[in-house]
Amino acid sequence: MATRISKNVERGDTVNIAINGETICAYEGETLATVLLLQDRLAFYETASGHKRAPFCNMGACYECRVHVEHDGRRQWVLACMTTIQENMSVTTGLQLPVLGNTPDAS
Amino acid sequence: MRAELAIVGAGPAGMAAAQVAARYGIDVVVIDEQGQPGGQILRQPPAQFRVRQWLTDRVYRSTQKLLQTSTAQTGIRWIHQSSVIGIFNHNQEHELHLNGPDGVTSLVASRVLIAAGCYDMPVSFPGSTLPGVMATGGIQAFVKSQRIIPGERFVFAGSHPLQLIVADQVTQAGGTVEAVVFSQPLKTVLGLIPYTGALLRHPAKLIYIAGAYLRLLRNGVKITTSSTLSRAIGNNSLESVQIVPVSGKDADKDGKEIACDRLGLCFSFLASTDLARQAGAQCAWSEKGGGWLAEHDEWMRSSVPGIYVAGEVTGVAGADVAELEGLIAGYAAALDEERIDLATAQQQLAGQRRKLKHAQNFADALSALSYPGIELLRDLMNDDSVICKCEELSVGKLKQTLRDNPLIRDVNAIKLLSRCGMGLCQGRYCSFQLSTLLASDYDIAAETGGTYKARFPTKPVTIESLLHNTAESKQS
Amino acid sequence: MSSYDALVIGGGLVGCATANYLAQAGLSVALIEKGNINQEASGRNAGSLHFQIEHRQIHHAQDLDSELQYCVSLAQLAIASWREIETELETNVDLAMDGGLMLAETGEEVSLLEKKAKLESEQGLNVQLMDGDETRRLAPYLGEHIKGALFCPDEGHCNPRLLTPAVARQAEKNGVTLFTRCHVTDIRRANKSWRVTAELNSNNTNHETMSFEGSIIVNAAGAWAVNVGRMANVHLPIFPVALLINVTEKVSPLIHHLIQHVGRKLSMKQVEDGNVLIGGGWSARLPQQRGDWLSDSAELDINAVRGNLQTATDIAPMIKQLRLLRTWTGTTGVTPDQLPIVGEVSQAPGFYVAAGGSGFTYGPTYARLLCEMITRGEPSFPLTPYSPDRFSHMNMFMG
């Protein structure tokens, strides 16, 4: 399990997000990758043949940290290492991606 | 949106260039994927954190200073959380397409500097795609920036001295490092220590590095040499790694299994030249320098008129070299925009060019000592290893495609037949292994085999973002 | 000097298939390709197998009744041939012939479809008119505003990355000698045969010159067919046109048909591996140097990319959720009347052409018929409408 470093760090306000339906409290400025690792979630997404994948590069190059996120009425996968948590984000891990939502017709 | 100089990358090269160019009155825009400037070397903690004694080591001081002075410089616009996904000819200028939080926007610039940096070299071996296997640079960023220890028990393996630094940072933060494994023999590793200073700016820092090495030993961290990975083991995630002697005939018998949940890979780095290549810049192959490197003249001008290149994209050589190259590129932009005359520019840079040569020599020596070598990289791969992680293609299956198609020996043709390189990472995490395989098994030089053609978009972008810019639509 | 019965220039689908059929008929064949097999349009197209009649022809239906009849009959030949392709090639090429939907968004477009349906059915093409609801039952991801579609059950797609290499492999097995990275530089007539000079590995400084001799030349050089024709002193009105294709990330199976549009440029399909390919005739730009097109260096225009993707999103809104992974270009050969050129150039006996037209959908068919023309004197299905001699007024003094 990953842990936060407490020495010499003062974190900001807390943010609530949902991970697989469970409400988790984390800190402003933390990335989804950080929060998922702190929650011991090592299956960020699943490949077509059923293998779990997790962060590798932590800089937005490898595309191994993809997670499904719903926020503000939108759903898409994002790179967890490049996405800062926002209040009411809802994350679902371990899915085959993309998961398409019902899109209203272009008006 | 318009600018006179668009700089891709807010690392040492980008910051140095921005500062100089802006000082000479050039309208500069700097674009970076991260939320704050600094590049990978200064992955700053979130603005909402207050971190005391962050990277206070003298080694970072110079880059920190550059960060302060460049961000204080007027005349620079900073665009964060945005990827440049393509550069196109636009009359005599360049049109950059930026993918940011509000969608895809375009920026027209007279001149462009590509200072897009580098990334940790991926390697393929049995179990390399297991959750828990990470790039050492990535582990470092979790510690340095997000202020977490991203796991419990760490093993670092590779050949690059960065792994000593990160292992030390992890143990200092309270994490457990089981082993740091070098493929080189011990005397080479010790010989590396003076050169690690080149990475961290000050040769005088060898005291710090030696300190890191000794601290690791004192903390009971095993530093193993002449050894390499044979496999990463685990069901759904990493549970242990098997380390074997590099040149053992009975490698499996002499193998040692180390229980761990995180493996940091640290072999080398690859230059991020995809955007430069998409823009048409000529690149040349350098195995030890980071793969396909952007070619340039002494003013950092690439082969494309109006496009400059600086930093790791011209050869992975550390922050020192990057900053100096960025400086030259900034002066070059000022020169080419006629804000400074040649004599003045040359005079201002005389000392810097000497420093650059010195720093480059250091970097070359370092890479000679720390580059793992094609044999080692090839030996990591067995037929079960996944070579293209996006398409889940094994080395064995790729070899079969090569056997079935004896006329097909260039990387793009191989990609079409095997799907190697067709996934979301756009070949960043398999092209080097493919080139290694072709060189090793078929005697095909990287120059002949080539690299995957870099195309728009250089990073995947949602069609919605491409079609619809929310900022623009709010105006309409 | 290497002597063969036939020299086929061009290693795309048409070249490889023609070489293969000629070899099967007992001829000795050399295939000469300047780059790699399947490197150009044959390997870069979107793999569509479209048999419905084009928009252009419907407008002039009254004048083109016999042309329509011809097209539909040829379509039926091609359909039959595609259904057998995997058996013939003894390998998988991701063939999917589950039907194509040509869409209409407006009332006017629906009328066009109705007109088309009538004409095509009269000629014997299997098509079925559907209203909006029926169309959406078949393809639920289509927008609510889609007014209807013309369904052709035989349309579909296959994998251009696999097809031509498979044909080339079979050609080799049948005795064709393949020369790749072998750029033809000179074509000359000598008595009753042709002499072809080529440079092997012309990119390297120490390239080798090769000489070939054959009584038959087949110009299957696609966008470069005009260059090859020039070398033989023959005018061929084939012009390079660059097009773009967009490919998305892989997604679970969603689109089971070839999607086209009667009033807009659009072609959309989902391949076996899951990616969605979006194209349909959107242009890329060919650079020129001293008046010569640089046909292998097409440049992208982002407005064309946007236009293409907007069209796709308009008819299938869920498309916009997908990531665009790559956009690439390819250069195809287009003739003034958009019909292919297949046949012998009378002024240059033994010089055959097979280029232009719908080279992917009809490539194997053109190849087979051309081979029959070469080996038996006459093809089993008339090729007269495609004859190079329809341009004979250009070549009165050539050959």
Listed residue (C288, C381, C281) closest to C71, CA to CA: C381
* Averaged confidence pLDDT in chain C: 93
**% of chain C at pLDDT higher than 90:** 81
Which chains would you list as touching B if contact means 3+ CB atom pairs under 8 Å?
Answer: A, C
Place of tokens 């007014």: C147
- Return the beta strands (E) in B234-322 as ranges: 240-245, 256-259, 262-266, 269-271, 283-286, 291-294, 307-309
Rounded-to-10 torsion of CA A37, A39, A45, A47:
80
* Residues facing residue B100 across a β-bridge: B103
Question: Chain C contacts of A106, Cβ < 8 Å?
Answer: 143, 313-314, 317
**B398: its two tokens:** 């790729």
Chain A, 48-77: which have a CB under 8 Å from a chain B CB?
48-49, 51-64, 66, 76
CA B16/CA B20 separation, integer angstroms? 6
Listed residue (A91, A6, A32, A3) closest to B262, CA to CA: A3
Under 8 Å CB-to-CB from C88, ≥6 apart: which residues? none
Place of tokens 């959750």: B131
Under 8 Å CB-to-CB from B395, ≥6 apart: which residues? B124, B381, B382, B383, B384, B385, B386, B387, B437
The band of A107, judged by pLDDT with boundaries at 50, 70 and 90, is: very low
Place of tokens 């719908």: C358
Neighbour order of strands in the sheet with B227-233: B227-233, B240-245, B256-259
Query: Are B460 and C313 in contact (CB < 8 Å)?
Result: no
For residue C376, the distance in angstroms to the closest alpha carbon of chain A comes to 51
Provide the total of helices (H) and of strands (E) in chain B, helices listed first.
Answer: 16, 24
Query: Are A59 and B150 in contact (CB < 8 Å)?
Result: no
Q: Does A100 touch chain C (CB under 8 A)?
A: yes
B451: amino acid identity, one letter:
T
pLDDT 10s digits, C73-121: 999 999 999 999 999 999 999 999 999 999 999 999 999 999 999 989 9
A78, A65 in Cβ contact below 8 A? no
Question: Chain B contacts of C313, Cβ < 8 Å?
Answer: 463-464, 467
Q: Does B137 touch chain A (CB under 8 A)?
A: yes
Give, to the nearest 10 degrees, the angle between helix B342-370 and helix B318-336: 150
Question: Chain A contacts of B151, Cβ < 8 Å?
Answer: 1-2, 37
Assign C194 to helix, strand or coil. strand
Specify the pTM: 0.94
CA B369/CA B364 separation, integer angstroms? 9
CA B366/CA C169 separation, integer angstroms? 48
Which residue is closest to A102 within chain C, CA to CA? C318
Q: Is B145 buried (19+), middle (13-18) or exposed (0-12) by CB count in 10 A?
A: buried
pLDDT 10s digits, C241-276: 999 999 999 999 999 999 999 999 999 999 999 999
pLDDT 10s digits, C273-287: 999 999 999 999 998
C103, C145 in Cβ contact below 8 A? no
Q: Does A96 touch chain B (CB under 8 A)?
A: no
Question: Chain A contacts of B53, Cβ < 8 Å?
Answer: 8
Q: Does C136 touch chain A (CB under 8 A)?
A: no
- Return the beta strands (E) in chain C as ranges: 2-9, 29-32, 48-49, 100-104, 128-131, 148-152, 156-157, 177-179, 182-190, 193-200, 208-219, 239-250, 258-261, 267-270, 275-279, 288-289, 292-293, 323-334, 341-344, 351-355
C168: amino acid identity, one letter:
A
- Write down the pLDDT at residue B409: 84
List chain B residues with pLDDT less than 70.
192-209, 248-252, 469-476
**B237: its two tokens:** 């995630």
Mean pLDDT, rounded, for C39-53: 93
